[in-house]
Structure 1
Amino acid sequence: MINWDQVKQLEEDIGAEDFGDIVVVFIEEVDEAVDALREITSMGDDDMATALHFLKGSAANLGFADFAASCGAGEDLANKQQAAEVDLQSVVALYDASKSEFLTGAPVHTSYQP
Protein backbone atom coordinates (compact mmCIF):
# COMPACT_ATOMS: atom_id res chain seq x y z
CA MET A 1 0.00 0.00 0.00
CA ILE A 2 2.84 2.38 0.95
CA ASN A 3 6.12 2.35 -0.92
CA TRP A 4 8.39 2.94 2.05
CA ASP A 5 11.48 3.07 -0.19
CA GLN A 6 9.91 6.08 -1.96
CA VAL A 7 9.08 7.68 1.38
CA LYS A 8 12.61 7.20 2.71
CA GLN A 9 14.11 8.53 -0.54
CA LEU A 10 11.94 11.65 -0.30
CA GLU A 11 12.99 12.17 3.30
CA GLU A 12 16.66 11.82 2.32
CA ASP A 13 16.23 14.17 -0.65
CA ILE A 14 14.59 17.00 1.28
CA GLY A 15 16.04 16.35 4.73
CA ALA A 16 14.45 15.09 7.90
CA GLU A 17 13.76 18.63 9.17
CA ASP A 18 11.62 19.57 6.16
CA PHE A 19 10.07 16.14 5.69
CA GLY A 20 7.52 16.64 8.47
CA ASP A 21 6.37 19.90 6.90
CA ILE A 22 5.95 18.18 3.53
CA VAL A 23 3.87 15.41 5.10
CA VAL A 24 1.60 17.91 6.86
CA VAL A 25 1.03 19.92 3.67
CA PHE A 26 0.45 16.74 1.66
CA ILE A 27 -2.14 15.43 4.09
CA GLU A 28 -3.93 18.80 4.31
CA GLU A 29 -4.12 19.21 0.52
CA VAL A 30 -5.09 15.63 -0.22
CA ASP A 31 -7.61 15.53 2.63
CA GLU A 32 -9.26 18.61 1.12
CA ALA A 33 -9.36 17.09 -2.37
CA VAL A 34 -10.62 13.73 -1.10
CA ASP A 35 -13.27 15.43 1.04
CA ALA A 36 -14.54 17.10 -2.12
CA LEU A 37 -14.76 13.67 -3.78
CA ARG A 38 -16.72 12.32 -0.80
CA GLU A 39 -19.47 14.84 -1.57
CA ILE A 40 -19.68 14.18 -5.29
CA THR A 41 -22.24 11.83 -6.76
CA SER A 42 -21.17 12.51 -10.33
CA MET A 43 -18.51 14.58 -12.06
CA GLY A 44 -17.77 15.45 -15.65
CA ASP A 45 -14.99 13.64 -17.45
CA ASP A 46 -12.58 16.59 -17.57
CA ASP A 47 -13.12 17.56 -13.92
CA MET A 48 -12.72 13.94 -12.82
CA ALA A 49 -9.52 13.53 -14.84
CA THR A 50 -8.09 16.74 -13.37
CA ALA A 51 -8.97 15.84 -9.78
CA LEU A 52 -7.59 12.32 -10.05
CA HIS A 53 -4.44 13.51 -11.84
CA PHE A 54 -3.68 15.86 -8.93
CA LEU A 55 -4.28 13.12 -6.39
CA LYS A 56 -2.21 10.59 -8.38
CA GLY A 57 0.79 12.90 -8.50
CA SER A 58 0.59 13.86 -4.86
CA ALA A 59 0.16 10.27 -3.78
CA ALA A 60 3.05 8.99 -5.88
CA ASN A 61 5.40 11.61 -4.44
CA LEU A 62 4.73 10.49 -0.88
CA GLY A 63 4.74 6.77 -1.61
CA PHE A 64 0.98 6.10 -1.50
CA ALA A 65 1.47 3.53 -4.26
CA ASP A 66 -1.90 1.77 -4.30
CA PHE A 67 -3.83 5.01 -3.99
CA ALA A 68 -1.79 6.57 -6.80
CA ALA A 69 -2.50 3.56 -9.02
CA SER A 70 -6.21 3.75 -8.26
CA CYS A 71 -6.27 7.46 -9.10
CA GLY A 72 -4.35 6.76 -12.31
CA ALA A 73 -6.85 4.11 -13.37
CA GLY A 74 -9.71 6.50 -12.67
CA GLU A 75 -7.96 9.27 -14.56
CA ASP A 76 -7.55 6.96 -17.55
CA LEU A 77 -11.28 6.17 -17.53
CA ALA A 78 -12.18 9.85 -17.28
CA ASN A 79 -9.84 10.67 -20.16
CA LYS A 80 -11.73 8.07 -22.20
CA GLN A 81 -15.00 9.88 -21.40
CA GLN A 82 -15.96 7.19 -18.87
CA ALA A 83 -15.90 9.15 -15.59
CA ALA A 84 -19.18 7.52 -14.56
CA GLU A 85 -17.30 4.21 -14.37
CA VAL A 86 -14.93 5.48 -11.65
CA ASP A 87 -15.80 4.08 -8.23
CA LEU A 88 -15.15 7.19 -6.14
CA GLN A 89 -16.12 5.43 -2.91
CA SER A 90 -13.35 2.89 -3.48
CA VAL A 91 -10.86 5.65 -4.28
CA VAL A 92 -11.78 7.50 -1.08
CA ALA A 93 -11.67 4.30 1.02
CA LEU A 94 -8.24 3.46 -0.36
CA TYR A 95 -6.97 6.92 0.58
CA ASP A 96 -8.32 6.52 4.11
CA ALA A 97 -6.62 3.12 4.48
CA SER A 98 -3.37 4.40 2.96
CA LYS A 99 -3.31 7.46 5.21
CA SER A 100 -3.88 5.28 8.27
CA GLU A 101 -1.10 2.89 7.25
CA PHE A 102 1.23 5.80 6.54
CA LEU A 103 0.61 7.51 9.88
CA THR A 104 1.07 4.21 11.72
CA GLY A 105 4.20 3.20 9.84
CA ALA A 106 5.92 6.56 9.42
CA PRO A 107 7.52 6.56 12.89
CA VAL A 108 8.99 3.12 12.14
CA HIS A 109 10.27 3.94 8.65
CA THR A 110 11.10 7.65 8.92
CA SER A 111 11.88 10.40 11.38
CA TYR A 112 8.30 11.71 11.09
CA GLN A 113 6.25 11.52 14.28
CA PRO A 114 2.56 12.32 13.69
Structure 2
Amino acid sequence: MIDWDIVAELMAAVGPAEMAEVVTLFLDDTDAAVRALAPDRDLEAQLHYLKGSATTMGFRDFLDLCSTAEIAASHGRVVDIDALRACYARSRAAFVEGLPARLPDLPAAAVR
Protein backbone atom coordinates (compact mmCIF):
# COMPACT_ATOMS: atom_id res chain seq x y z
CA MET A 1 0.00 0.00 0.00
CA ILE A 2 2.82 2.43 0.93
CA ASP A 3 6.20 2.37 -0.76
CA TRP A 4 8.31 2.97 2.32
CA ASP A 5 11.51 3.18 0.26
CA ILE A 6 10.20 6.40 -1.34
CA VAL A 7 9.35 7.79 2.10
CA ALA A 8 12.82 6.87 3.43
CA GLU A 9 14.51 8.47 0.40
CA LEU A 10 12.57 11.68 0.93
CA MET A 11 13.46 11.67 4.65
CA ALA A 12 17.15 11.18 3.81
CA ALA A 13 17.01 14.05 1.33
CA VAL A 14 15.29 16.61 3.54
CA GLY A 15 15.99 15.55 7.14
CA PRO A 16 13.63 15.04 10.09
CA ALA A 17 12.57 18.66 10.65
CA GLU A 18 11.76 19.31 6.99
CA MET A 19 10.15 15.89 6.65
CA ALA A 20 7.75 16.74 9.47
CA GLU A 21 6.68 19.82 7.51
CA VAL A 22 6.43 17.85 4.26
CA VAL A 23 4.24 15.19 5.90
CA THR A 24 1.97 17.80 7.49
CA LEU A 25 1.56 19.73 4.23
CA PHE A 26 1.04 16.53 2.24
CA LEU A 27 -1.69 15.26 4.55
CA ASP A 28 -3.44 18.63 4.82
CA ASP A 29 -3.34 19.32 1.08
CA THR A 30 -4.25 15.80 0.02
CA ASP A 31 -7.07 15.54 2.57
CA ALA A 32 -8.55 18.74 1.15
CA ALA A 33 -8.08 17.67 -2.48
CA VAL A 34 -9.73 14.29 -1.85
CA ARG A 35 -12.67 15.97 -0.11
CA ALA A 36 -13.03 18.38 -3.05
CA LEU A 37 -13.13 15.68 -5.75
CA ALA A 38 -16.10 16.36 -7.98
CA PRO A 39 -16.89 15.27 -11.52
CA ASP A 40 -18.07 18.76 -12.47
CA ARG A 41 -14.76 20.46 -11.58
CA ASP A 42 -12.21 19.24 -14.16
CA LEU A 43 -11.89 15.83 -12.60
CA GLU A 44 -8.98 14.91 -14.85
CA ALA A 45 -6.88 17.78 -13.46
CA GLN A 46 -7.88 16.94 -9.89
CA LEU A 47 -6.80 13.34 -10.40
CA HIS A 48 -3.55 14.40 -12.02
CA TYR A 49 -2.73 16.51 -8.96
CA LEU A 50 -3.57 13.65 -6.59
CA LYS A 51 -1.51 11.24 -8.68
CA GLY A 52 1.50 13.52 -8.27
CA SER A 53 0.95 13.79 -4.54
CA ALA A 54 0.62 10.03 -4.21
CA THR A 55 3.84 9.53 -6.16
CA THR A 56 5.78 11.91 -3.95
CA MET A 57 4.78 10.18 -0.70
CA GLY A 58 4.71 6.59 -1.92
CA PHE A 59 0.95 5.97 -1.74
CA ARG A 60 1.20 3.10 -4.28
CA ASP A 61 -2.39 1.83 -4.28
CA PHE A 62 -3.85 5.33 -4.35
CA LEU A 63 -1.45 6.27 -7.16
CA ASP A 64 -2.59 3.30 -9.23
CA LEU A 65 -6.25 4.12 -8.69
CA CYS A 66 -5.72 7.82 -9.51
CA SER A 67 -3.86 6.88 -12.70
CA THR A 68 -6.66 4.60 -13.85
CA ALA A 69 -9.30 7.17 -12.92
CA GLU A 70 -7.43 9.97 -14.69
CA ILE A 71 -7.42 7.95 -17.91
CA ALA A 72 -11.12 7.18 -17.48
CA ALA A 73 -11.91 10.86 -16.89
CA SER A 74 -9.90 11.87 -19.96
CA HIS A 75 -12.15 9.58 -22.03
CA GLY A 76 -15.33 10.91 -20.46
CA ARG A 77 -16.01 7.74 -18.49
CA VAL A 78 -17.52 7.69 -15.01
CA VAL A 79 -15.03 7.71 -12.14
CA ASP A 80 -15.88 6.11 -8.80
CA ILE A 81 -15.03 8.99 -6.47
CA ASP A 82 -16.16 7.02 -3.42
CA ALA A 83 -13.63 4.29 -4.25
CA LEU A 84 -10.90 6.93 -4.57
CA ARG A 85 -11.80 8.41 -1.20
CA ALA A 86 -11.89 4.97 0.44
CA CYS A 87 -8.51 4.02 -1.02
CA TYR A 88 -7.00 7.29 0.16
CA ALA A 89 -8.43 6.78 3.67
CA ARG A 90 -6.88 3.29 3.86
CA SER A 91 -3.57 4.54 2.51
CA ARG A 92 -3.53 7.52 4.87
CA ALA A 93 -4.24 5.29 7.88
CA ALA A 94 -1.46 2.87 6.91
CA PHE A 95 0.93 5.77 6.38
CA VAL A 96 0.21 7.48 9.69
CA GLU A 97 0.31 4.16 11.55
CA GLY A 98 3.60 3.13 9.94
CA LEU A 99 5.50 6.41 10.23
CA PRO A 100 6.72 6.05 13.83
CA ALA A 101 8.26 2.63 13.19
CA ARG A 102 9.62 3.44 9.74
CA LEU A 103 10.92 6.94 10.54
CA PRO A 104 11.67 7.02 14.27
CA ASP A 105 13.55 10.34 13.95
CA LEU A 106 10.47 12.11 12.63
CA PRO A 107 9.04 14.57 15.18
CA ALA A 108 5.81 13.23 16.69
CA ALA A 109 3.90 16.37 15.66
CA ALA A 110 4.08 15.23 12.02
CA VAL A 111 2.23 12.02 12.80
CA ARG A 112 -1.43 12.77 13.24
Q: TM-score, normalised by structure 2?
A: 0.90
Q: In structure 2, what is the equivalent of residue 91 of structure 1? A: 84
- Percent identity at matched positions? 35
Whole-Å separation in 2 of the counterparts to 1:81 and 1:87: 13
Please give the per-residue CA displacement for 1:31-69, whole angstroms capped at 9, x wherever unaligned.
1011112xx4xx14x711100000010011001111011
From 45, 68, 71, the equivalent of 2:63 is: 68
Unaligned regions of 5+ residues in structure 1, if any? none
Alignment of 1:46-61 (within 5 A): 47-61=42-56
TM-score in terms of structure 1 length: 0.88
> Which one-letter code corresponds to 2:13 in the other structure?
D
Deviation beyond 4 Å, 4+ runs, structure 1: none
The alpha carbon displacement at 1:15 in A equals: 1.4
Secondary structure of the residue aligned to 1:54 is: helix
Query: 1:36-51 residue pairs with structure 2 within 5 A?
Result: 36-37=36-37, 40=38, 43-44=39-40, 47-51=42-46
Corresponding residue SS for 1:8: helix
Alignment of 1:21 with 2:21, yes or no, is: yes
Are positions 1:104 and 2:107 aligned together? no
Displacement after TM superposition at 1:81 (Å): 2.0
Letter in 1 for 2:89: D
SS at 2:42's partner residue? helix
Instruction: Give per-residue Cα distances to partners, 1:62-111, cap 9 Å, x unaligned.
Output: 011110111011001111221x2x11111100000000000000011113
In structure 2, list runs of 5 or more residues that go unmatched.
none
- What displacement does 1:4 show? 0.3
- How many equivalent residue pairs? 107
RMSD (Å), alpha carbons: 1.3
